[in-house]
Amino acid sequence: MRLLSVRLIVSLIVGITIVSLGFSYNQVVAEKRVLRSDLERRAEVLGESVAGNVEKSLENGSQRGERALQRLVQRFGSREHMLGIAVYDREGKTLAITPELAPLLSNPPLSVTQAIADGHGEETYLRLATHHAHIFALPLHRQDDVIGGLAIVHDVDYIRAQNLRTWRQAFLGVLAEVLLIVLITLLIVRWSIAGPIAQAAQWMRALRMGRISSRQQMPDLDLFRPIAWEVVTLAESLSQARTAAENEARLREASQSQWTADRLAVHVQTRLDGGRLFVVSNREPYMHHRNGKSLEVVVPPSGLVTALEPVLDACDGTWVAHGSGDADNEVVDDHDRLRVPPNDPSYTLRRVWLSKEEEEGYYYGFANEGLWPLCHIAHTRPIFRAQDWQHYQDVNRKFTAALLDEIADTRKPVVLVQDYHFALLPRMIKQKRPDARVAIFWHIPWPNPETFGICPWGRQLVEGLLGADLVGFHIQSHCNNFLQTVDRVVESRVDWEHFSVLRQSHRTIVRPFPISVNLPETEAQGVDNPVTGADRSALLHNLGVEAAFVGVGVDRVDYTKGILERFRAIERFLEKYPKYQNNFSFIQIGAPSRTHIKRYHDLQAELEAEVERINWRFQSGNWRPIVFLKQQHNHRQIERYYLSADLCLVTSLHDGMNLVAKEFLAARTDERGVLVLSQFTGAARELRDSLLVNPYDIDQTAEAIRAALEMPPEEQQSRMQRMRRILREQNVYSWAGSLITELCELRLDGDRSFEKFRGVTAA
């Protein structure tokens, strides 16, 4: 920093001096030009005046006229800055000259001779002995003849003196400016640069020595924002590396093994054996939106990105997804690809473009008005339209074409298809690339055969899924339902012992892979609790609520989430236990979803009306029982609500897993709080220490709320510790590692070598 200051000071001195001297030089030159111009103008005026009088005196031609001429030049030659006046005849003989000028001009100046010869005025600057002079010469006339010349001689040394004074003032001004600017610069450097950098260095030193967490706020470095981002990223990487090393050492000591992002990357890279991973999903991991004139990168909240990004990083994989951001097409190349993540590109995102009609029919229509209610037993009638089914097929073909383009020159491609949007894609891929290993993970429940039979195109969906080598669900009962459906819908042989299906010489394995969330070890140890009692009070104050007990619910506004039943259970709880009135408030974060679908639009209005009715019935003063937040929240914002809550209500009517329950547990680094969980979620199979409820049983849910609020802290801690241990051992990296490992270990049917495939294609 000292060397930087010295270089900065020297650079400022040199730079300011050069610039100031340049301006001073221009000022001196301009001032000299002005003074000379003024002198020349005065000499010309004086010359014209004197010439007329001299010409009259010369007309007399007598000795008396000569004396008058001498008096004339002496009278006019004594003016300010004048050296004198001289009068010459046509041959250059001196007729009259001021005494002071006589020693300086022994002969007529060249300008006088030139003026007599040319018949008009001439001027010149020259040196006369010790003086710098300006001579203005005019011809003298008698009628039309030139009879002599007149020289007006000024001393211009005063102009040189004025220039020297200007240079001296400029030098002193430059010196003062340099001193002041250097002083101000040093203060700015110390306050705005050196100070924040020193604080950042102390922060990095404390982080390196393990005294603080990377989650603690870094000192303000607004002046160096790009560097600050890199420093924060480096600090987080350092913290994660230290945590991973400490965790690995502790697990090795305890002879345990925990999945981490680094372990997942290395493990899958080994399993792929030189192959590459290709992920297909409707939602993309990064979206680009136009924010005024700038582009904004948005990471959609998704555990899928957390789980799969380390694998794609490790093998330079490709993620194929629908480009849904309004500026997505501005950042891709000619092949609709871009490298991500933005700050450290390590894998490829291939975007697929859908028309408004395709998105309406494939996504909102068949997928979310047809398959979604069909698979969720939430008593909402599925809607199947022929045009939606056509769009669903077309979009599956479009994604298949994009994927085939990506894997065209890849040996041993491993394809992981995500969710119910792409039931047809596995068979489409296998038909073109039988050497590819293809898995599809179905994130929502699979219904029983009778329910699935409602779908007019159920057979085509099942055949599409059976094109995969591996079909994954969250829990075993969904696997059972799928195999029962296969047994009833298509001609095949179901192997219940090995949970596989053999159809047309192709074997499909069906397995449960319960998805989870990430539980960083720093959080698992309770090192960093970002929300205190004061934070909770501030949170409630911002909501305009006063309450001693707080509950929280986090959901998309969806009819499968049981939000309406949840509100009615809260109403019943306050009826049965009036002591909690004015004391218990429930905060429901409800992100609007698919609102232009009528069922979702109606649900939004129904929920708002129910909240208004219950609040009107019970609220008083600054207390109201339900706070309904109807907007999107990011993970960090939601985490504050999780940490402030005494209980979390998850009352889904039917759910494949429900990661909100696991996110609540992951956030509770203080090992407090109670999870009230619907028995109809996949998470209920793992989280047995939650309070399980039937969300349709309003009284049972009301009793669970009471039990949660009155549960002793010791029991809360023991339950929370057991459930968090499950998350730690079966986290999202474990899910991804198990799924990809199972797929890579499968033996493909027949000869599926890359060379044979390329040979057949070429033929």
How far apart are the C-alpha atoms of 519 and 726, rounded to whole Å? 10
- Minimum mean pLDDT among 103-107, 282-286, 563-567: which range? 103-107
- Which helix (H) or strand (E) segment is 495 a member of? strand 493-495
Mean pLDDT score, 40-45: 85
Contact predicate 232/218, CB 8 Å = yes
Contact predicate 528/213, CB 8 Å = yes
The answer to the question of residue 262 being in a domain is no
Same-domain status, 533 and 506: no
**Which of 125, 144, 161 is at the close of a domain?**
161
Same-domain status, 299 and 248: no
Tell me the CA distances in angstroms from 724 to 302, 445, 673, one per residue in order: 20, 24, 12
Same-domain status, 500 and 534: no
Q: Say if residue 454's pLDDT is above 90.
A: yes
Give the residue from 487, 508, 504, 514 showing the smallest Cα distance to 439.
Answer: 508
Report the CATH number that the domain containing residue 134 is assigned in CATH: 3.30.450.20
Same-domain status, 309 and 351: yes
Same-domain status, 279 and 248: no
Same-domain status, 110 and 21: yes
pLDDT of residue 694: 97
What's the whole-model pTM score? Answer: 0.70
Contacts of residue 228, Cβ cutoff 8 Å, sequence gap at least 6: 200, 218, 221, 222
Let me know if 132 is exposed, middle or buried by CB neighbors in 10 A (0-12, 13-18, 19+): middle
Mean pLDDT score, 400-426: 95
Give the residue from 729, 344, 716 showing the smallest Cα distance to 524.
Answer: 729
pLDDT of residue 246: 57
Any alpha helices (H) in 189-224, and if so which ranges? 195-208
Same-domain status, 417 and 336: yes
pLDDT of residue 571: 97
**Which of 143, 161, 179 is at the close of a domain?**
161
| pLDDT band of 399, cuts 50, 70, 90 | very high
Same-domain status, 558 and 685: yes
Give the residue from 419, 521, 514 showing the smallest Cα distance to 734.
Answer: 514
- For the chain, what is the total number of helices (H) and then of strands (E)? 25, 23
Report the CATH number that the domain containing residue 596 is assigned in CATH: 3.40.50.2000
Mean pLDDT score, 154-166: 85
The answer to the question of residue 508 being in a domain is yes
Query: 3-state DSSP call for residue 674?
Result: strand
The answer to the question of residue 443 being in a domain is yes
**Which of 512, 547, 579 is at the close of a domain?**
512
The bridge status of strand 500-503 relative to strand 493-495 is: antiparallel
The DSSP line for 457-481 is: THHHHHHHHTTSSEEEESSHHHHHH
The answer to the question of residue 636 being in a domain is yes
306-336 tens-digit pLDDT: 778 888 888 889 999 999 999 999 999 999 9
Residue 643, token pair as written in the block: 């940490």
Contact predicate 71/86, CB 8 Å = no
How far apart are the C-alpha atoms of 62 and 52, rounded to whole Å? 18
Give the residue from 164, 163, 157 showing the smallest Cα distance to 82.
Answer: 157
Range of the domain at 248: 223-253
The answer to the question of residue 190 being in a domain is no
Same-domain status, 425 and 561: no
The answer to the question of residue 207 being in a domain is no
Let me know if 647 is exposed, middle or buried by CB neighbors in 10 A (0-12, 13-18, 19+): buried
pLDDT of residue 225: 56
Same-domain status, 39 and 116: yes
How far apart are the C-alpha atoms of 604 and 13, rounded to whole Å? 68
Same-domain status, 350 and 414: yes
Torsion of the alpha carbons at 37, 42, 45 and 46, rounded to the nearest 10: -140
Measured over all CA atoms, what is the biggest interatomic distance in the chain, rounded to whole angstroms? 150
Q: Say if residue 584's pLDDT is above 70.
A: yes
What domain count does the chain have?
4
Let me know if 644 is exposed, middle or buried by CB neighbors in 10 A (0-12, 13-18, 19+): buried
Percent of the chain with pLDDT over 70: 87
Mean pLDDT score, 261-272: 84
How far apart are the C-alpha atoms of 338 and 342, rounded to whole Å? 9
The answer to the question of residue 739 being in a domain is no
Same-domain status, 31 and 61: yes
Q: Which residue has the tokens 């924002």?
A: 225
Instruction: Name the amino acid, one letter, at 624.
Output: R
The answer to the question of residue 369 being in a domain is yes
